Amino acid sequence: MPHFTSYDNAELHYRVLGPEGSGLPPLMCLAGGPGRDATYLDDLGGLAERRQLLIPDSRGTGASPPAADPSRYAFPHLAEDLEAFRLHLGLDRFALLAHDAGAATAQAYAAAYPDRLTRLVLISPGSRLQGEFPDDVRDIFTSRSAEPWWPEASAAVQTLSETPAPAEVHHLLLSAAPLAYGRWEAPQQAHAAAEPDQLHPVPRTAFWQTVDEPARQTLLTGLREVTCPVLVMTGGRDAVTGVRAGELVAASFPDGRTHHLPEAGHYPWIDEPARFRQAVEEFLHTA
């Protein structure tokens, strides 16, 4: 795998998907989790068929080595890794897509380097940076109680909230997984089955370290200086981050907008690949 050298001389790896010479600008893509291997992004619903996707493995995930200093896993530091990646690629400006917790890294990058982005796409973000925790997730959760998998998933969510034994976590995550998808069919089941082995506890735990209230407010102020168009995509069946959080994130930017997929969950490229791909491509092509 190709690699780049970050600001502290760490060698971090990345993948390149899609054709060279397509005439379309590449799209840089950040995984979430936090601390999850970027392979769960797959080809993002076929986006790689027409343009190159540049997908870094964040510290301690995929082929990238763990950090000697755990503070390097905090998302503001991961934003500096992203800047090192840009310099390595020789890009003056670029389009960025981020999913889930990766959206926090993307927002930190946008606030620090507002002139570097041409477009920003945030998929299923939470609103922890905005300081709000909307309750629509609970409504989405209960609205699906008639589905056959719901009793087991609901019980698993409760047990996960009570700090279960490590040996139980793999089974519990898979039991709760249907709540993250718009439907529970073969593609969703295959995608979910890989999740437990893709999560890395230390990067996951350290992701929100060192971000105090003054730092959060500074970051939010920086987002008001981001002039590029921003698209925030939400899924109507997303019982992980919900819909309202995405609306709050979009409102943090001068040119933020939302795109809602009613039948999608937390991974819209798995649930609604054609609609997901169309929405992203249209946004990348237009102002």
For residue 121, the model assigns a pLDDT of 98
Helix (H) or strand (E) holding 118: strand 117-123
For residue 287, the model assigns a pLDDT of 52
Give the single-character DSSP code of 199. Answer: B
**In this structure, how many other beta carbons lie within 10 angstroms of the beta carbon of residue 201?**
11
Please report the domains of the chain, with CATH numbers, ordered by start residue. Answer: 3-142+200-285 (3.40.50.1820)
Say how far apart CA 13 and CA 5 lie, in whole Å: 9
Residue written as token pair 């490590």: 166
Instruction: Give the burial string for 176-198 (b: 16+ CB within 10 Å, else e).
Output: bbbbbbbebeeebeebbeebeeb
In the chain (287 residues long), the average pLDDT of successive 10-residue segments reads 95 96 92 96 96 97 95 96 98 98 98 97 97 92 94 92 81 92 97 92 90 90 97 97 97 98 98 98 86
For residue 251, the model assigns a pLDDT of 98
CB-count exposure of residue 169 (10 Å: 0-12, 13-18, 19+) = middle
For residue 167, the model assigns a pLDDT of 78
